[in-house]
Structure 1
Amino acid sequence: MICWTSLFSGIYALMSVIFLNTPDHRCKIPGLENDTYDIHSTYQQKLVNNYIPPPSGDDTHDYDQCHLYSFDYNDVKFDNSSRPINASIVECSEWVYSDSVFKETFTSKFNIVCGEKHLTSLIKSLFFAGKLVGAIVFGNLSDALGRRLTFNTSLMMMVALTFGMSWSSSYLVYAIIMTAIGATTQGVFPVGFVLGVELVGPSKRKYAGIVIEYFFSLGLMFLAGISYFARHWYYINIICSAPAILFVFYWWLIPESPRWLISKQRYEEANTILQKAAKVNKVVIEKNLFEKEIESSTPEPTGRVWQLFSTRVMLLRTLVILFNCSPYRCIVSMIYYGLSLNAGNLGGNFYLNMFLSGLVEVPANTMVLLFIDRVGRKKMYCLSMILGGCACASTIFPILYGEIENQSIITALAMIGKFGATASFNTIYFYSAELYPTVVRNAGMGASSCAARIGGIVAPYIADSSALIGGMVGKVFPLGVFGLVSIIAGLSSLYLPETLNRKLPETIEDGKQFGKSATLSHEKYEIKENLEDKPPAYDNNGYILDKEMTKL
């Protein structure tokens, strides 16, 4: 049931690709009734000189999309190229749009083009800014009030906001709603993820963590299919949002996390949930699991997030983690969402590109599921990032040497880039959680989550830069940037230690020593365990053996 909410998280995460898509457009011809983008009437042909040639180097449009000539048709003079001489250049106040891809988008409805086209990138970035706020707010509420309450509340808010978005009266209202939706997604996907993982045993956590990603990918493909048939942002939104009303029943169907209840010493409630689980699974357990619960008198080790920066080793390691790793990684977020947001700019069929962008995540998720415990976290992450980066950067060459002829090659390379980004996106969750010492794990993950939003905020600007830059440079710039940053991020992860089959760091001191020498660290724990209840043994130099191993 939690996985189904992930499907809608995938839909809402990339709705802006549809709603803020800018169709091909040109200035509306003054005095021409029923003017459409592809009109070719005799009257329109007579006024064709009312257009201005495109800016130098921009071969993507036939005419300037934002300006036209203003002149008196009764007293007009033309040069040899049939352009008016005694005319002034004015900005368009009305536009006509191509309906070859969409009948209407939010951008075309409110004319967010030309001088205001930067607002589309801003609104997309505000969605990720909302994620930053939501990560802080709903993350803390989840720890304080419980996973179930936070999850269901944010889920209902997200459904209500997406419905309300259909009646946005301006781009300002739309931007506010998109920011709020971004915030609520952090109470749905991450909190739902944690709730699902905490409802299963340790041996099933990997599956609970990866399977939910399949549904996120399914949401991307579902959005592409609905968009293909509806082709109008209003109806797409209604169709995608209506089924989510059924989530209201989750208030009664999904239980609270027993682990959270135990952490709050609410043992009776936890026992009730576990007894129900045992009955469904036909397992016999004690009727009162926590009747003999005894609190340990040993004080738990403590730590502060600033200690992650207290030494050179911890400082460099933490900076690399912040650069690469978190539940919604900074750089991986830029690569992942950047490629998804850029799906419509790859050329070819818009809907096919978006569908493939979601479909390619399925084998990527499967690869992580099969190999993360075989090849290790670091190798899996590094190779995935470099693969994605090289594929994205390689798209520059087929674009420059024949975009139309090499369209299939461009799309294939972009999808390989998305494959690598998805694999690394999923791998790093486990990796980053294992790298932080236990005493500051939650604080470290929270810091990484906040840093990750920078990538999400920047990604739309990079994805939309093709329209701002223009020409061939604009077409290759987004994928080039995503590719280069991906390669740098992958190489920087080589500095991090491997965590596969390793005893994870518990204290800050463990974190400092973690990864320096896997063999000596393992031997140290073994020797300390063997000598725990024995008199100290000395070597020929008078050193106590367990202390000498600690020194080593």
Structure 2
Amino acid sequence: MSDSRRGSAMDGPSEERKDSRARRRKSSAFAKPLDLDDVLVNELGQFGRFQIRNMLLVSVPIIMSAFMSEYIFSAAAIPHRCRIQECGENSKLMEFEPDWIFGAIPVDNNGNMESCERYTSSNTGVNGTPMFCPADLFSSDRMGCEEFVYARDNSVVYDFDLGCQEWLRALSGTLSSVGTLLVLPITGFVSDRYGRRVAVVISVFNLALIGLIRAFSVNYPMYMVLQLLQTTLGAGTFSSSYIIAAELVGPKYRVLASALSSSMFAVGLMTLGGVAWLVQPWRYMIMVLHIPCFLVISYYWILPESVRWLLSKQKYDEATSILQKVATVNGTSISEKSLAALTTPPPVAYVESPEDKGPGLVKTIFRSPILLRRVCTTPIWWITTTFVYYGLSINSTSLSDTMYLNFILTCAVEIPGFFTAILVLDRIGRKATLSCGYLFSAACNIAFIFIPNDLTTLRLIVFLLGKFGISIVFTSLYLFTSELYPTEYRHTLLAFSSMIGRIGSITAPLTPVLADYWHGTPSMMFGIMGMISGLLVLTQPETLGLKMPDTLAEAEALGRPESKAKQSS
């Protein structure tokens, strides 16, 4: 009896201990694991010396990513007219406006020389020279140009004889934007499979190599194919560089990191304008821009890999080494407990059965009128933003003869626009910031149409203010779009809006051609699109101070009293 009681007494506590351990394992499996953000906030520092050094390193490829926009100068429109063979013109680069030229070429309604028409020969048997050509050599009948004379030779328009083929010339910019759409799945695959650092190095190498080859294009089709190929394989430079910088910054400084990255891209555009100004032959300009990019190959050994990516791939030894280095450089420390929590494989999660899954995304959208309205609205914002942003940059070169200075100023004004967004987003709210940015830019673009050409300084100021307004929008758009969608669908719907928004950047390079029909067409299009989007912003709820929605119900409740009450509680 005593042995039996002793045995049962020993078995009881043992079973209780087993049950207790099982309950702890079960609860730990569903408890929120320690996140890198928690360690950055509480131990390592959110934006210390290591993060600043990391930001400076990735600033170099971000600046270089702007060099793919060099088609703005290498494929720039240049003044051209018909070549008058009867007057001894036997070259594409002759005196552009000799004294006799208006006897041979008609003028338009503004008194400017026609680019694509000339007067026919009167067959009088009289011949002229490049120095003197009599007016009676020509009749009043018009004909199209057979050959051209160009005012400059620093564009593919001169080398490949693209006179009066403006749509074909503008196609190079469109193909560049198409490449930025095609690059998304390629860069995403490389970045997620092989690492952010590898994606940066490969993207910059492709950018440099294909760009250098493009400098030796022998015809325009080769130039355009390489333009598409360069952006398709190299346009991931910005996104992969930005991710490396942002993934090691604490939550409080992510908007700042985004603004700094965007500012570095603007610095890259300004650098592009400066190089194009100093090195005007387009082939040499491309070489000067792209040869230094090969130095970024050294980043494979210099740039630290993203800790978040290493942890997601369970490369714990390398992640531990970098985390310890962050602590050393920042003058902080990371506890062994935190290291162990970050570098311990997560428990096996519960796997949903097909029966547990709700309706698909498409069905969810159509079943929710609120979500459907947002899915129909946010892509319009993105189309407008990319259309106006890139359209203003491209059209800035035609403001006056100082095309390089105009482009540099148009890019420089983006930087205060980016940081203005940071200052006002958390003060006046997302809706007010976006709507005012759109409407202000629209007002400037429409006003620009009616400013006389002789008021050069005023035209430039109003144009720059329009770019300032859309720059504020660009920085704010990512945040507001993300806050409107629930966690389950946030990434997918943000990516969808951004992808549809590429329509704007694809069509923007074609807008300068429309100015040939009416000078105010591009600016009027920018203004109308800005007004539409500015008003559409007002149809969505304000998200300032509200918790980002995790569920569809929370997303639908945004802006309602219960949503604000839940946040305050």
Q: What range is the shorter-chain TM-score in?
A: 0.7 to 0.9
Match of 2:519, SS state, is: helix
**Is the deviation greater in 383-392 or in 218-227?**
218-227
Partner of residue 75 from structure 2, selected from 17, 20, 39: 20
The answer to whether 1:246 aligns with 2:268 is no
State the match for 1:477 in structure 2: 521
Residues 317 and 495 in structure 1, CA contact (< 8 A), matched pair in contact too: no
Tell me the distance in 2 between the aligned counterparts of 1:40 and 1:481: 33
Tell me the distance in 2 between the aligned counterparts of 1:298 and 1:497: 35
* Cα gap change, 1:35 to 1:480, in 2 (>3 Å): closer
Tell me the distance in 2 between the aligned counterparts of 1:408 and 1:342: 16
Tell me the distance in 2 between the aligned counterparts of 1:73 and 1:241: 54
For 1:240-389, list aligned pairs within 5 A: 240-287=289-336, 288-289=339-340, 290=342, 292=344, 294-295=346-347, 297=349, 304-306=360-362, 307-324=364-381, 329-389=382-442
For 1:192-211, list aligned pairs within 5 A: 192-211=241-260
Partner of residue 433 from structure 1, selected from 461, 465, 482: 482
Letter in 2 for 1:295: P
For 1:79-98, list aligned pairs within 5 A: 82=136, 84-85=138-139, 90-98=143-151
For 1:442-461, list aligned pairs within 5 A: 442-461=491-510
Partner of residue 465 from structure 1, selected from 495, 514, 518: 514
Letter in 2 for 1:17: I
State the match for 1:129 in structure 2: 178
Match of 1:26, SS state, is: strand
Deviation at 1:389, TM superposition (A): 0.8
Residues 322 and 448 in structure 1, CA contact (< 8 A), matched pair in contact too: yes
Deviation at 1:297, TM superposition (A): 4.4
State the match for 2:8 in structure 1: none
Letter in 2 for 1:523: A
Tell me the distance in 2 between the aligned counterparts of 1:418 and 1:133: 27
Letter in 2 for 1:492: L
**Is the deviation greater in 219-228 or in 206-215?**
219-228
* Cα gap change, 1:305 to 1:162, in 2 (>3 Å): farther
Deviation at 1:26, TM superposition (A): 1.4
Tell me the distance in 2 between the aligned counterparts of 1:349 and 1:341: 14
Residues 166 and 513 in structure 2, CA contact (< 8 A), matched pair in contact too: no
The answer to whether 1:422 aligns with 2:471 is yes
Q: Deviations over 1:377-402 (max 9, x none)?
A: 2221111111111001111211xxx3
Q: Deviations over 1:163-194 (max 9, x none)?
A: 11101111111111111222245411122212
Letter in 1 for 2:415: V
Q: Deviations over 1:129-172 (max 9, x none)?
A: 11111123323433343322222211211111111110111111
Tell me the distance in 1 between the aligned counterparts of 2:470 and 2:358: 35
Deviation at 1:432, TM superposition (A): 1.6
State the match for 1:226 in structure 2: 275
Match of 1:143, SS state, is: helix
If the length of structure 1 is used for normalisation, what is the TM-score?
0.83
Tell me the distance in 2 between the aligned counterparts of 1:293 and 1:286: 18
Tell me the distance in 2 between the aligned counterparts of 1:220 and 1:274: 34
* Cα gap change, 1:291 to 1:133, in 2 (>3 Å): closer
Unmatched 5+ stretches in structure 2: 1-56, 128-133
Letter in 2 for 1:172: P
**Is the deviation greater in 337-346 or in 273-282?**
273-282
If the length of structure 2 is used for normalisation, what is the TM-score?
0.81
For 1:133-212, list aligned pairs within 5 A: 133-212=182-261
* Cα gap change, 1:84 to 1:524, in 2 (>3 Å): closer
Tell me the distance in 1 between the aligned counterparts of 2:97 and 2:325: 70
Partner of residue 160 from structure 2, selected from 110, 130, 145: 110
Aligned-residue sequence identity (percent) comes to: 27
Letter in 2 for 1:21: A
Tell me the distance in 2 between the aligned counterparts of 1:460 and 1:40: 29
State the match for 1:547 in structure 2: none
Tell me the distance in 2 between the aligned counterparts of 1:35 and 1:23: 12
RMSD across aligned positions (CA): 2.7
State the match for 2:548 in structure 1: 504
Residues 8 and 219 in structure 1, CA contact (< 8 A), matched pair in contact too: yes
Q: Deviations over 1:274-317 (max 9, x none)?
A: 12222222322134433555437467998854234431100001
* Cα gap change, 1:66 to 1:140, in 2 (>3 Å): farther
Deviation at 1:33, TM superposition (A): 4.8
Structure having the higher Rg: 2
Tell me the distance in 2 between the aligned counterparts of 1:253 and 1:403: 51
State the match for 1:514 in structure 2: 558
Letter in 2 for 1:357: T
The answer to whether 1:4 aligns with 2:46 is no
Match of 2:520, SS state, is: helix
* Cα gap change, 1:309 to 1:107, in 2 (>3 Å): farther
Tell me the distance in 2 between the aligned counterparts of 1:429 and 1:226: 31
* Cα gap change, 1:309 to 1:240, in 2 (>3 Å): farther
* Cα gap change, 1:444 to 1:394, in 2 (>3 Å): same
Tell me the distance in 2 between the aligned counterparts of 1:206 and 1:60: 51
Match of 1:295, SS state, is: coil
Tell me the distance in 2 between the aligned counterparts of 1:53 and 1:256: 63
Residues 204 and 296 in structure 2, CA contact (< 8 A), matched pair in contact too: yes
